[in-house]
Structure formats: structure tokens, C-alpha cells
Amino acid sequence: MRILLATMNEGKLREYERLLADVPGLELETMASLPKPVNVVEDRDTFMGNAFKKATEIAAASRMACLADDSGLEVDALGGRPGVYSARYAGEGATDAENNAKLLGELLGTDARDRTARFQCVIALVDADGRRLAAAEGACEGRIGATPRGAQGFGYDPLFIPDGYEQTMAELGPETKNEISHRAKAAAKLVPLLQQLRNR
């Protein structure tokens, strides 16, 4: 079972190879193997919408089954923002530091107990003809700290304190993150769906 992963990033390929290791015969490859790049505008207002949009457009361009994910941070005190705008919360091309600074600014004066949040991830799979085959969602619950802490990870990791921990995701590091993350949980739900598809 050959599936194109909607990313150019080798790191993401290795992460998914590990997360989906229980699917026998699964061969993942990145978009680096395509003759020309495919650009998808992520303009849907849900993670599910964006994940399927990416998977469908890339499957059409490549004529391969395609697996795409979309993820972001939902903060309860902000009505679920930044959500699908997580990457560009502080503006198009914003750095992680700028996004984190904006988030802290918006939460200024918000009590610790009201700073609940979650990382969300949706993974979508379509076949080479663009038919939707499977989708899986995962969430990692936590809260937003008062100041950035830790140097590992990316994005909002220095501000996100997962439930059950006192450290931020950026302090906990990849081993713990790979056990509790939104992506790991969504991938774990996808595994049995991929096994079923393989046995069809």
C-alpha cells in the first residue's frame, strides 16, 4: 500500500512511519518525489475541511492515494482561536515567537484556571481517484502558561502545558510528546482503518 504524505518534510515522514508502523506493507513517501510542487491554499474553516482539501487536491495532481493532516491550537478563553489560523495568528509569515507573543497578549489578565486549551489534529486519507477513505481526529488537552518555557518542539509548544504535567511541551521533549500529542492520538485511530483498507 503506497501512500503519498502531503508534506515536503522528511521529519514528518519519519514521524508518520513510526506512528503507523503497525500497518503491514505501508509505504509512505513525501511530495519531494513528485515531478513538480503542488500548492494547496488552506482556506477552509475546520481542520477536517483543510485536511481533506489538501489530500484531495494532491491526490488529483499526483494520481496517488494521499494522506494529509491539519492541526492547530484552540484556546477556550478566545472562543477556540487561533484554531485553523494557528500558523498565521500574528499575520501571514509570522514566526512562532510572534504567534506566541500575540497569544500571551490576548490572554493578559486571564486567570490560570481559565487558560484551558487543546491541540487538535485531523488526518484525512483519499484514494488516487479522490474518494474519501478515512479520517481520524486527535486532541491533546492542556492550558496556556504565563511565559514561554523550553527549547524543544515548535509552534506553541513553549506555552502549552499538557494536562497531568507542570512542564510545557517544549520542556517535556519529543519522547513524551510522541506519546500524548494530538497527532499521535489521531494516527493511533487511523491505524485500524488502514489495516481494514489493506485487508479489503
Residues that bind ligand IMP (CB under 6 A): 69-73, 86-87, 99, 119, 153-157, 181
CB of 166 to ligand IMP, least distance (A): 18
Contact (CB, 8 A) for 165 and 184: no
Distance CA 114, CA 92 (A): 28
Nearer to ligand IMP, 94 or 128 (CB): 94
Cβ atoms of residues 66 and 3 within 8 Å? yes
Q: Which of 22, 43, 45, 70 is catalytic?
A: 70
Q: What are the strands of the beta sheet with 66-75, ordered from one edge?
A: 27-30, 2-5, 66-75, 116-126, 132-144, 160-162
- Active site annotation includes 76: no
Q: How far is the CB of 125 from ligand IMP (least distance, A)?
A: 16
- The amino acid occupying position 55 is A
Residue 64 or 186 with smaller CB distance to ligand IMP: 186
CB 187 within 8 A of CB 136: yes
Least Cβ distance, residue 24 to ligand IMP (angstroms): 27
Residue number closest to ligand IMP, CB atom: 155
Active site residues: 70
